[in-house]
A and B are shown apart, each in its own frame.
Chain A
Amino acid sequence: MEGTAAPMSAEPQTGVVDMMLNMGPQHPATHGVFRMVLSIDGERVVGVRPHIGYLHRGSEKLSEHESYGQVITLFDRLDYVSNLNNELVFARAAEELMGVEAPERAQYIRTILCELNRVASHLLFIGTYALDVGAMTPVMYTFRERERVQNLFEHVTGARMMHNYFRIGGVKEDVPGDFAERVRSVVRHLREGVEETDRLLTFNEVYLARTRGVGVISAADAVSCGLTGPCLRGSGVAYDVRKAYPYEVYDRLEFDVPVGEFGDCWDRYWVRLQECYESLRMTEQALEQMPDGLVMAPGRRIARPPKGEAYAHAENPRGDIGVFLVSDGTDKPYRVKVRPPSFCNLVGLERMMDGAYVADAVAILGSLDIVLGEVDR
């Protein structure tokens, strides 16, 4: 078994030697530049060592040299498929530090956009995950639906991905006049699109065979490893920042927190799928409730928070994203620390790989839904 690490001995080495398989950083199933070194015995994985950092751009260090408003653009580039959720958490940390609160309308706009962003991100996950386990059709369906959200975002923020739309104390500008109408149409189409993928994939025999009972992690291990978001909820723990520490307008919306049962890959997928429906539900409710009014808190345009520190966190599609912000009273943050959910979810990888096959390794990694921009920062 441990042929590679066996000490020199008088006996000739005739045992089985594990093969080291270097998966990544260039591998179609590692979602970017993640790398894991698998020790495999035949098709069985007996050890895994993850390596990250290929995309380390020093975002935290860079943030210390940008003014508060500019840091938001760096946060766009952390988790590049749920940009708005990232912007939100930094804006909230700075707001907490400065003691301002975004006007109600801005909070509703942020909530609606974040929830649509969540659906878009989950759709990307569902498509690529199906691709990981070998199904090629769902990715076409989900990308088609995701495009609707991207188009809406382009209409509202002017950009498809790096929006730079949320501001400390509100949003950049009010939404266009046909916002409500377009959101309703997008929500209607998305619901149909998600259901289409759902019908094709969720209870597909082969899909069940590939994902059920694979990558199981117990609730206790999941909490100890710091898993959050769908990965934690897949293990049956109903921890959701939107419920546990309501922010923005989530306390006024009615939604369920879907949780899994076994903590396997399929449960993590299922939780995300149900979250799509929940997010669409929330979007509709928020749209109904959205008042008129300001979209930016009145005050100085240049943020210069008082000395102090703040920790804000929010529910990102990947989990609980946190920002620890230290201010020294200047217009640039003294220290910005991101708690990246994908980074923490990866800690659970070793546990989940217990007894997996090589093919499972791909399915397990896919089910964590990592985005390397955020893991490496």
Chain B
Amino acid sequence: MSEQERPSGEESAAQAEQPAPRPHRGPPIETADETLSERGEATAKRLAAALGADAVAAGGRGETPWARVEPSALERTLRRCRDDDALRFDMLHCLLAVDYVERIELDYVLASVAHNRKAIIKVDLPPDAPSAPTATHLWQAAAWYEREAHDLFGVVFDGNDDLAPLLLFEGFEGRPGLKSFPLHEYEEY
């Protein structure tokens, strides 16, 4: 443990006991020599290499590239993203649904604490019966995100047997996240 000095004016006896901030103990931070958008481009390349033909479309801006996959390929894509050495997306940063009326899009925002990279995996679901495989076995964080998406958008996650209402109360009718749900014109009780 290095003896860094915490910056402070006076040094009293009690303060001298104050420990220095512990040094960085995590994975290397890849920020030294590249800008964020360069890092994003590199991530996009790694993502394309890892997904191969599963990626039906790709794009992105800044440090966050994205790739679109078919629902059937979602499970193996996510697993690959998590386990691939070049990607190592060990954190499900965010999972969200967007209602485009003709389709419901799920976005898995993945983050790699190990490599400091981010990417978004997109998947389109049919709006009438949106359903996707669960990701709870890959990331524990998925549990609540999936409940939330089920609450607000009605997305069913196969394999997640705990889709009880999270943000809404039990017995709430309708999917308030959908564009078809009115903002004001409904009876709350």
A: residues with CB less than 8 A from B are: 52-53, 56, 58, 60-62, 65, 96, 191, 195, 198-199, 203, 221, 223-226, 232, 236-239, 243-246, 251, 256-261, 274, 277-278, 281, 308, 310-311, 313, 320, 322, 324, 326, 334-335, 337, 339, 343-344, 346-348, 351, 376-377
Across the interface, name the chain A residue whose C-beta is closest to B151: A53
Which 3 residue pairs across A and B have the least CB separation, nearest first?
Answer: A226-B141, A238-B26, A339-B94
Taking a contact as CB atoms under 8 Å apart, the answer to whether B98 and A56 are in contact is no
Taking a contact as CB atoms under 8 Å apart, the answer to whether A237 and B113 are in contact is yes
Cβ contacts under 8 Å, A224 to chain B:
90-91, 139-141
Taking a contact as CB atoms under 8 Å apart, the answer to whether B144 and A236 are in contact is no
Cβ contacts under 8 Å, B120 to chain A:
311
**How distant is B51 from chain A, measured CB to nearest CB, in Å?**
19
User: Does B44 interact with chain A (Cβ within 8 Å)?
Assistant: no
Taking a contact as CB atoms under 8 Å apart, the answer to whether A52 and B166 are in contact is yes
Taking a contact as CB atoms under 8 Å apart, the answer to whether B176 and A58 are in contact is yes
Contact with A along B83-119 (1 / 0, CB 8 A): 0000000111110101100000001010001001010
Residues facing A in B126-141 (CB within 8 A) are 139-141
Across the interface, name the chain B residue whose C-beta is closest to A281: B7
User: Does B71 interact with chain A (Cβ within 8 Å)?
Assistant: no
Taking a contact as CB atoms under 8 Å apart, the answer to whether B22 and A258 are in contact is yes
Cβ contacts under 8 Å, A225 to chain B:
139-141
A313 CA to B96 CA in the complex, in Å?
A: 15
**How distant is A304 from chain B, measured CB to nearest CB, in Å?**
18
Q: Report the count of interface residues on B (CB-CB < 8 A).
A: 51
B93 contacts which of A53, A198, A322 (Cβ < 8 Å)? A322
* Majority-rule SS of A interface residues: mixed
Q: Select the residue from B113, B116, B120 with max chain A CB neighbours within 10 A.
A: B113
Residues facing A in B153-171 (CB within 8 A) are 165-169
Cβ contacts under 8 Å, B56 to chain A:
none
B: residues with CB less than 8 A from A are: 4, 6-9, 14-15, 17-18, 21-26, 29, 31, 36, 61-64, 90-94, 96, 98-99, 107, 109, 113, 116, 118, 120, 139-141, 143-144, 152, 165-169, 176-177, 181, 183
Taking a contact as CB atoms under 8 Å apart, the answer to whether B14 and A199 are in contact is yes
Cβ contacts under 8 Å, A61 to chain B:
176-177, 181, 183
Taking a contact as CB atoms under 8 Å apart, the answer to whether A62 and B26 are in contact is no
Whether A256 touches B168, Cβ cut-off 8 Å, given contacts A198-B18, A223-B91, A245-B36, is no
Cβ contacts under 8 Å, B17 to chain A:
203
A260 CA to B62 CA in the complex, in Å?
A: 31
**How distant is A41 from chain B, measured CB to nearest CB, in Å?**
23
Cβ contacts under 8 Å, A337 to chain B:
94, 96, 98
Cβ contacts under 8 Å, B98 to chain A:
326, 334-335, 337
Given A224-B90, A258-B22, list of 17 further CB < 8 A pairs? A61-B177, A61-B183, A191-B8, A223-B91, A225-B141, A226-B91, A238-B29, A239-B26, A239-B113, A243-B31, A246-B36, A257-B21, A278-B21, A324-B107, A334-B98, A339-B94, A347-B141
Whether A56 touches B167, Cβ cut-off 8 Å, given contacts A195-B15, A236-B26, A320-B93, is yes
A377 CA to B167 CA in the complex, in Å?
A: 9
Cβ contacts under 8 Å, B94 to chain A:
311, 322, 324, 337, 339
Cβ contacts under 8 Å, B7 to chain A:
277, 281
